[in-house]
Amino acid sequence: MSDTTCHMSISLDGFVAGADQSRDDPLGKRGLEVHGWHLGEERENDADATAVSWLMRPRGAYVMGRNMFGPIRGEWDEEWDGWWGPEPPYHAPVFVLTHYAHEPIEMEGGTSFHFVTGGFDAAYAQAVETAGDDGIDIAGGASTVRQALAAGVIDELTLDVAPVLLGSGESLFDGIESFDFEPVEVLHSPLATHIRYRRAG
């Protein structure tokens, strides 16, 4: 099996999304400011372009939380197939953590969403079995990444640190007591500092 990766944009004060996430504001208040390096119109430099290539590299399977998949909470009482339109950017199976069972959703371009009610370990095990040598990515959001860090499964963690203070929101490292990674590459742009970490040892 190849590496398990995770790539997250984060504010200087440790938030990957702002407060009050909603259907109309999926990244929360001011959360989009953290993602300007790849979602904004200002990206014109080699550092951000390289970081985008890291973010978009193909993987064999993905694990994400239900809050990242969509805004519906509780029972699946309406149709929803993600934020990304008919052809999401994953092009591989995506295992979504949820407490409520749901039939798989097949999308264009090879993306399929599979809903796992057995917790992070069960979702990750399915991703490992599916991905083979093509690797796994922990796609987010913050809670799912924290579970992956606690489980010790991430081999490479990339953080795009935006020069923004959000003050509140979804904290990436809340409750994480150790950071067993070392930086192996750092790229700079006016919009973010891109730090690629590998697990130490």
In 90-178, DSSP assigns E strands to 93-97, 105-106, 112-116, 136-140, 156-162, 170-171
Contacts of 14 (CB under 8 A, 6+ apart): 171, 172, 173
User: How many domains in the chain?
Assistant: 1
Residue at 58 is within a domain: yes
pLDDT of residue 41: 65
pLDDT of residue 39: 83
Chain CA centroid to CA 136, Å: 11
> Within 10 A of 33 (CB to CB), how many other CB atoms are there?
19
DSSP for residue 43:
-
Residues across the chain: 201
Residue at 34 is within a domain: yes
Residue at 147 is within a domain: yes
Residue tagged 């606690």 (tokens): 150
What distance, in Å, lies between the first and last C-alpha atoms of the chain?
18
d(CA 7, CA 113): 19
What sign does the dihedral 91-152-3-7 (CA atoms) show? positive
d(CA 66, CA 108): 20
Residue at 24 is within a domain: no
d(CA 37, CA 43): 6
Residue at 126 is within a domain: yes
- State yes or no: cis peptide before 141, omega within 30 of 0: yes
pLDDT of residue 1: 47
Higher-pLDDT residue of 21, 160: 160
pTM, to two decimals: 0.94
pLDDT of residue 21: 86
Residue at 80 is within a domain: no
pLDDT tier at 73, thresholds 50, 70, 90: confident
CATH of the domain at 97: 3.40.430.10
Residue at 95 is within a domain: yes
Chain CA centroid to CA 31, Å: 14
pLDDT of residue 117: 97
SS (H, E, C) 172-195: CCCCCCCCCEEEEEEEECCCCEEE
Task: Give the model confidence (pLDDT) of 100-127 as tens digits.
Answer: 999 999 999 999 999 999 999 999 999 9
pLDDT tier at 42, thresholds 50, 70, 90: low
- Residue 160 in contact with residue 9, Cβ under 8 Å? yes
Q: What distances in angstroms separate CA 40 from CA 43, 47, 48, 50, one per listed residue?
A: 7, 15, 11, 15
d(CA 192, CA 57): 19
**Whole domain around residue 117: which residue ranges?**
4-16+30-70+88-199
Residue at 52 is within a domain: yes
